[in-house]
Amino acid sequence: MSTETKTETGTEISRAEVCAAAVADAFSDDGEIFGSPMGIMPMLGVRLAKLTSNPDLVISDGESLFLGGVPPLFAKGDVVEGWIPFRRVFDVVAYGKRHVMMGATQIDRHGNQNISAIGDFAQPRRQLLGSRGAPGNTVNNRTSYWVAKQSPRVFVEQVDVVSGVGPKLAREAGPAASRFNDIHRIVTNLGVFDVNGPDDTVRLLSVHPGVSLDEVRAASGFEIAGLGSGSDADVSTTRVPTAAELMLIREVLDPRKLREREVPSA
Amino acid sequence: MTIDEVVGRLESGMTIGIGGWGPRRKPMALVRAILRSDLTDLTIVSWGGADVGLLADAGKIKKLVYAFVSLDSIPLEPLFGLARQNRTIPEICEWDEGMFFTGLKAASERLPFLPMRAGLGSDVLRNNPDLKLVTSPYPAPDGELEELVAVPALRLDVALVHMNRADAHGNASYLGPDPYFDDLFAMAADQVFVSCEQVVDTAGLSVDTPVQRLLLNRMMVTGVVETPNGAHFTTCTPDYERDEKFQKHYARSAADPEAWAAFKQRFLSGDEDAYQAAVADWTKEQA
C-alpha cells in the first residue's frame, strides 16, 4: 500500500499530512471554543485549524496556559492569553465550550471508546490509563477520536470498558447524558468516520488517498456503515492539504516530523 | 514535624488522599515513609502516579479510588499495571477524573454528594454499582427532570500534600504552574500533613510571589514537615522538574522482577536521607 500521494503539481504528500488536515477539518466549524487535543496528531491538527479554517479556536500548552499565538509542537515561550490549570479544565468541560480529541485503544460499532483496560475489568489482561476524563468529556462537550493505526484490535464489535460514551448509550442513559453528547469525528490513518450510521453507528465519510475500501474493511472488527459491499468509486476521498497547509505543517508547526512517529511513511 | 512523626499519626485501615496529579508535585517523601512503615489496608484516593504504583507494589492498598494512573512521559504506570493484572488490590474504584474533583468538593463542603453529568452512560457506573443517580427536582426547559450522577463525598481521614513553601503554622504556597487540587484534598480530610521544599517564616511566603499562590491556610493543616527534594522524582516546579532519567530507571526496573529487587534494595531500603543520597549517587553515575 502506498502512503504517499502526489498532487497535480507533483508534490509528494505523506499520509501523516493528509491526517493532519483531516484532524484540522474536524475543528473547522467549532468557533470560539477550547480545542483540546490529546497527543501529537490531534495537537498538530488543532493548531493547523487555528492557522487556517478557525482562527477563533482557543488552544493551550497542554499544561496550564492558554496560548495567544500558535507555536510549533512542544515549543515554549509563546504569548500567554490565559490560565487553564486542571481544575479549570473541568469547569470548561461542564461549561461545554470545548472540543476534545482523545486517543482510543478501542472504539466499537456504536462509537464507544475505551482507554481504561483490556479484558475483564475486575482483572484486566492489560491495564491502561484508566477512564481519565472520557466519561465526563463525552456527555458534556464535543468529542472526537484519533486512531494512529486502525486495526480490528482497535475497531472492535464491543469495547471491553466504556470510557467514552457513544450516542446510543448516551440516549439510553437519559436526557442528562444525551443532551450534550456529540461524538463528532473519528480520524484514523486510513480514513475519516462519524457516528451517524443507522442506529448511531460508525459510518465512513472518506478514505485517505491511496487507501482501498478492502484495506478499511480488513482493519475493522465490525461492519462500518457506508462501506458495505461498496466499491472504491462510491466513497469520497479525503482531501489533500493545500500548499499553504503543507507549508504550515512542514515549516511552522512540525519541522521535526513528529507526525511521522504516529503515521510513518512507507 | 518530622517524617516519622507524620507516619506515626497514620493508622492501618485509614483513607488517605494523596495530592498532586499523576507524576506532578506528589508528596513522595511521605509515600516512601509509608512504604517503610507497617501500615496496611489503606484506602488510597489519588490522581495516581508512582505514588499508587509504589504503594500497590508494597501491598499497602486495600482499596484504590482513582481516575487514572500515569507517569505522563511514560503513559502507563508499570507497578499499577501489575497490581491490576494480578488483582492484588482488593477493591478498585475507577472514576472519571472530573467526578473525582466533584467528590473532593462535596467532602470539602460537608455535603453528602454533588450532582454531575460525568459517568452517565459509561462503565464507571457499571463498575461502581454503589454510585447512585439523583433526579433534579426542577424541570429542564424541555420539561425533562434530568437524572444525574450523585457523586458521593470523598471523605478522607488524612490528606498528604507537597508544596513549595510553607510556614510552621501550615500556611503554604505552590510556585509552579498549577495548584492541582491540594486545597480540596486538605478540606476533605480530618488531618492534613504538608511536606514542603522549604519552611520559611510567614512574611517570607508572600515576599517574592503573589499572595494568590498561598493555596493552604493554617486552618486546613495539621502539621508541616520540611522535605527538600521531597517530591522527587515527580515535578516540583520551579524548584525542580521531573527527574525523567530516574523515572525511566524506575519504570524499566519495575518491569523486571530482578531489576526491581535491585532498585528497591538500592533506593527504598533506607530512610529518606538514604534515598536522596542514593539518588544523588545514581545521578552522578549517569552523568
The mean pLDDT of chain B is: 97
User: pLDDT per residue over B22-39, tens digit each?
Assistant: 999 999 999 999 999 999
- Give chain B positions within 8 Å (CB) of A175: 140, 142, 144, 146
Residue B107 lies in a domain: no
Query: Do both B208 and B83 map to the same domain?
Result: yes
* φ/ψ (deg, to 5) at B4: -65, -35
**Residue range of the domain that includes B44:** 3-95+154-244
String of DSSP letters for chain A: ---EEE-TT--EEEHHHHHHHHHHHHTTT--SSEEEE-SHHHHHHHHHHHHTT-TT-BEE-SSSEEESS-PPTT---PPEEEE--HHHHHHHHHH--EEEEE--SEEETT--EE-SEES-TTS-SEE-S--TTHHHHHHHSEEEEEESS--TTTEESS-SS--BPPHHHHHHT-HHHHTT--EEEEEESSEEEEEEETTTEEEEEEE-TT--HHHHHHT-SSPPBTTTT--GGGSPBPPPPPHHHHHIIIIII-TT-THHHHS---
Q: Does A133 touch chain B (CB under 8 A)?
A: yes
Q: Does B69 touch chain A (CB under 8 A)?
A: yes
User: pLDDT per residue over B78-124, tens digit each?
Assistant: 999 999 999 999 999 999 999 999 999 999 999 999 999 999 999 99
Instruction: Read off the amino acid at residue A97.
Output: K
Q: What is the pLDDT of residue A234?
A: 74
Q: What is the pLDDT of residue A235?
A: 87
Q: Does B131 touch chain A (CB under 8 A)?
A: no
Place of cell 493484572: B85
Nearest beta carbon to residue A136 from set B70, B84, B96? B96
Q: Is the pLDDT of residue A4 over 90?
A: no
Query: Do both B148 and B161 map to the same domain?
Result: no
- Give chain B positions within 8 Å (CB) of A131: 67-68, 94-97, 122-124
User: pLDDT per residue over A27-50, tens digit each?
Assistant: 999 999 999 999 999 999 999 999
Q: Which DSSP category does B9 fall into?
A: T
- The whole-angstrom separation of Cα A220 and Cα A207 is 13
- Give chain A positions within 8 Å (CB) of B70: 129-130
Query: Do both B132 and B199 map to the same domain?
Result: no
User: pLDDT per residue over B259-273, tens digit each?
Assistant: 999 999 999 999 999
Contact A177 B120 (CB under 8 A): yes
- Give chain A positions within 8 Å (CB) of B118: 93, 133, 135-136, 139-140
Query: What CATH number does residue B214 fall under?
Result: 3.40.1080.10
Query: Do both B139 and B16 map to the same domain?
Result: no
- The whole-angstrom separation of Cα B19 and Cα B164 is 13
- Give chain A positions within 8 Å (CB) of B67: 130-133
Q: Does B212 touch chain A (CB under 8 A)?
A: no
Q: What is the pLDDT of residue A11?
A: 74
Place of cell 511521522: A260
When pLDDT is averaged across residues B125-131 and rounded to a whole number, the result is: 98
C-alpha distance from B4 to closest chain A C-alpha (Å): 32
Nearest beta carbon to residue A162 from set B99, B123, B178? B123
User: pLDDT per residue over B194-246, tens digit each?
Assistant: 999 999 999 999 999 999 999 999 999 999 999 999 999 999 999 999 999 99
The three-state secondary structure class of B52 is helix
Q: Does B250 touch chain A (CB under 8 A)?
A: no
Q: Is the pLDDT of residue A221 over 60?
A: yes
Alpha helices in chain B (DSSP H): 3-8, 28-36, 50-57, 78-85, 97-108, 123-127, 182-187, 244-254, 257-267, 272-286
- The whole-angstrom separation of Cα B166 and Cα B147 is 43
Residue B164 lies in a domain: yes
Q: Which of B46, B57, B87, B120 to mutate to test the interface with A (most CBs of A within 10 A)?
A: B120
C-alpha distance from A173 to closest chain B C-alpha (Å): 5
Query: A100 near A153, Cβ under 8 Å?
Result: no
Q: Is the pLDDT of residue B275 over 60?
A: yes
Residue B147 lies in a domain: yes
A4-261 is a CATH 3.40.1080.10 domain? yes
Cell representation of residue A119: 479484558
Q: What is the pLDDT of residue A241?
A: 98
User: pLDDT per residue over B150-174, tens digit each?
Assistant: 999 999 999 999 999 999 999 999 9
Query: Do both B170 and B46 map to the same domain?
Result: yes
Cell representation of residue B8: 506515626
- Give chain A positions within 8 Å (CB) of B120: 135, 139, 165, 170, 173-174, 176-177
Query: Do both B19 and B147 map to the same domain?
Result: no
Q: How far is CA B264 from the centre of its chain?
A: 21
Query: Do both B210 and B234 map to the same domain?
Result: yes
When pLDDT is averaged across residues B254-283 and rounded to a whole number, the result is: 97
Burial of B41 (0-12, 13-18, 19+ CB in 10 A): middle
Query: Do both B143 and B195 map to the same domain?
Result: no
Query: A157 near A168, Cβ under 8 Å?
Result: no
When pLDDT is averaged across residues A197-221 and rounded to a whole number, the result is: 96
pLDDT tier at A245, thresholds 50, 70, 90: very high
C-alpha distance from B256 to closest chain A C-alpha (Å): 16
Last residue within a domain, chosen from B152, B171, B197: B152
Query: Do both B8 and B136 map to the same domain?
Result: no
Q: Is the pLDDT of residue A231 over 90?
A: no
pLDDT tier at A9, thresholds 50, 70, 90: low
β-pair type (B147-152, B113-116): antiparallel
Contact A131 B95 (CB under 8 A): yes
Q: What is the pLDDT of residue A155?
A: 98
Residue B100 lies in a domain: no
Q: Is the pLDDT of residue A1 over 80?
A: no
- Give chain A positions within 8 Å (CB) of B81: 126-127
Query: A39 near A259, Cβ under 8 Å?
Result: no
Query: Do both B62 and B18 map to the same domain?
Result: yes
Residue B109 lies in a domain: no
- Give chain B positions within 8 Å (CB) of A134: 96, 122
Total number of domains in chain B: 2
β-pair type (A183-188, A191-197): antiparallel
C-alpha distance from A56 to closest chain B C-alpha (Å): 25
Cα distances (Å, whole numbers) of residue A58 to A28, A31, A99: 12, 9, 10
- Give chain B positions within 8 Å (CB) of A126: 81, 85
Query: Do both B42 and B89 map to the same domain?
Result: yes
Q: What is the pLDDT of residue A233?
A: 65
The mean pLDDT of chain A is: 95
Degrees to nearest 5, angle at CA B129 with B125 and B133? 60
pLDDT tier at A266, thresholds 50, 70, 90: confident
Query: Do both B158 and B50 map to the same domain?
Result: yes
pLDDT tier at A8, thresholds 50, 70, 90: low
The complex scores an ipTM of 0.96
Q: Does A163 touch chain B (CB under 8 A)?
A: yes
Q: What is the dihedral of CA A62, A66, A68, A70, to 10 degrees?
A: 20
Residue B130 lies in a domain: yes
Contact B87 A123 (CB under 8 A): yes
